[in-house]
């Protein structure tokens, strides 16, 4: 069995866009996760949503992985982008769309 860090690493590196969130893209379990999903859907970006509520180990593991205290967390092409506030700012400024375009995922 692999450790949680390895599992997270595999998800981040094997998917172009990953959102670690509370709930699922179809049924977000918090406002911040819901907002993050809406932003990605608005941009038309395919992404994988990973529900941190499925496992306490994952919920803590993702915070340790990035040294970032909150969920959701967005990764694009293996790089940590930020949480919902950062996503919102980047979305409003056009930076997020540009990032997706630069990374070839939009």
- The predicted pLDDT at position 7 comes to 96
For the beta carbon of residue 100, count every other beta carbon within 10 angstroms.
22
- Into how many domains does the chain fold? 1
- pLDDT tens-digit map of 54-87: 999 999 999 999 999 999 999 999 999 999 999 9
The pLDDT score that the predictor gives to residue 29 is 97
CATH of the domain at 13: 3.40.30.10
7-55 pLDDT, tens per residue? 999 999 999 999 999 999 999 999 999 999 999 999 999 999 999 999 9
Question: Is the confidence at residue 1, as pLDDT, over 70?
Answer: no
Q: Which domain holds residue 75?
A: 4-102
């Amino acid at each position: 069995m692999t450790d949680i860090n390895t599992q997270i690493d595999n998800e981040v590196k094997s998917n172009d866009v990953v959102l670690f969130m509370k709930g699922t893209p179809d049924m977000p379990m918090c406002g911040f996760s819901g907002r993050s999903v809406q932003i990605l859907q608005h941009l038309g970006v395919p992404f994988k949503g990973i529900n941190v509520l499925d496992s306490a180990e994952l919920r803590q593991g993702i915070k340790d992985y990035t040294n970032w205290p909150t969920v959701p967390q967005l990764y694009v092409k293996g790089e940590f982008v930020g949480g919902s506030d950062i996503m919102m700012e980047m979305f409003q400024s056009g930076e997020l769309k540009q990032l997706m375009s630069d990374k070839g995922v939009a």
